[in-house]
Structure 1
Amino acid sequence: MFHFAFGNKLVLKSVVNTKAYYPLVLDTNGFKSYYIKVNSQNEISHLNNYYYLSDGKKNVVNSNQALVLDNNFNNYRNLYKISSRYKNRDLNKSLVIQDLDSKTQKAWVLTMQSWYKDNLINGIGFKAGKLYDKYTVIRVPDSSYIYNENE
């Protein structure tokens, strides 16, 4: 009973947050150069898959676990919510974003992951050391670098 009443607070204290930045690689399909290719799974659920090249491999992420940043102000408000959720306070500072933008020409990927700590609360062997949550922020210079496969 105690676990269900206070479990969320215990989980947040027993999680390790990590982050990694990677530059995006420009991809081409013979028609157009793009950083992100969007593919809708189906029209009913409004879920998208984002395909991008980074760190020498092709990556796929679901729209429930990703945010695409372009020059839209509403996306930056969402970034603030995400960064506070992952206790990544330096991400919502404009200096970090400006530094990444200058190094990668406004094309980068940030992957934030939360892992369960190895402690008694997480249960040895049950949750300890396993992935708790993952979120990806994809930054593109402009929305014209996003290729929508369904259009």
Structure 2
Amino acid sequence: MSYTTFFQNVNQLGDRVTQTTRYEPLVINTGSGSGSAYYVTVDNSTGKQPVQTYTYLTEGEKYAVSSTNATVSDGKKAINLPASAYKWDDKKVAKYDQRHQRAWVGVVETTYKKTFINGIGLHAGRLAGRFTLIRIPDHSFMLRK
């Protein structure tokens, strides 16, 4: 019972989780006195295990995500190596690339299914993980702090 509650590897659950993906266009930020427009700010931390924090805007909301659960894609292909571990709808990705000029965010959420084993581990119906793909047209649309 303690294994199913505390020690499950979310990346190896397979059919015991469901995946949902949502896509939103990014909003360009022209503030902060930098004189340039950008979609994402990157804040680097220091220490033994440095982690970047990505901050971006969607319509009416401001989000900050850690690089441990997110990636920024600015190449020709929207789905880069870290994001390729998740299932993406290629048609929606292509549509958002064209419609929003390569400036959108995709969030993948995995939720535990309501099964007996997940119920024993007290996970049924709860969020198992979240991954964010931030798509920008070019690295020049990223402001580093």
| Identity over aligned pairs, percent | 33
RMSD, aligned α-carbons: 2.7
When the two structures are aligned, how many residues end up with a matched partner? 138
State whether structure 2 residue 95 is matched by structure 1 residue 99. yes
Aligned ranges 1:59-98 → 2 under 5 Å: 59-71=63-75, 76-78=79-81, 81-83=84-86, 88-91=87-90, 95-98=91-94
Cα contact 2:43–2:54 (8 A) shared by 1: yes
**Whole-Å Cα distance in 1 between the matches of residues 125 and 47 of structure 2?**
36
**Whole-Å Cα distance in 1 between the matches of residues 67 and 125 of structure 2?**
25
Q: CA deviation at 1:44?
A: 3.3
* Runs of 5+ consecutive residues of structure 2 not aligned to the other structure: none
Calculate the TM-score normalised by the size of structure 2. Answer: 0.81
State whether structure 2 residue 47 is matched by structure 1 residue 38. no
**Whole-Å Cα distance in 1 between the matches of residues 83 and 144 of structure 2?**
26
State whether structure 2 residue 139 is matched by structure 1 residue 140. no
Cα contact 1:70–1:142 (8 A) shared by 2: yes
Which of 18, 21, 24 aligns to 2:20? It is 18
**Whole-Å Cα distance in 2 between the matches of residues 70 and 82 of structure 1?**
17
Q: CA deviation at 1:71?
A: 1.8
Q: Which runs of 4+ in 1 moved over 4 A?
A: 7-10
**Which one has a larger percent helix, Structure 1 or Structure 2?**
1
**Equivalent residue of 1:101, what SS?**
helix
Q: CA deviation at 1:124?
A: 5.9
Aligned ranges 1:43-58 → 2 under 5 Å: 43-58=47-62
C-alpha distance after superposition, 1:91-116 (max 9, x if no partner): 4xxx5433111111110000001001
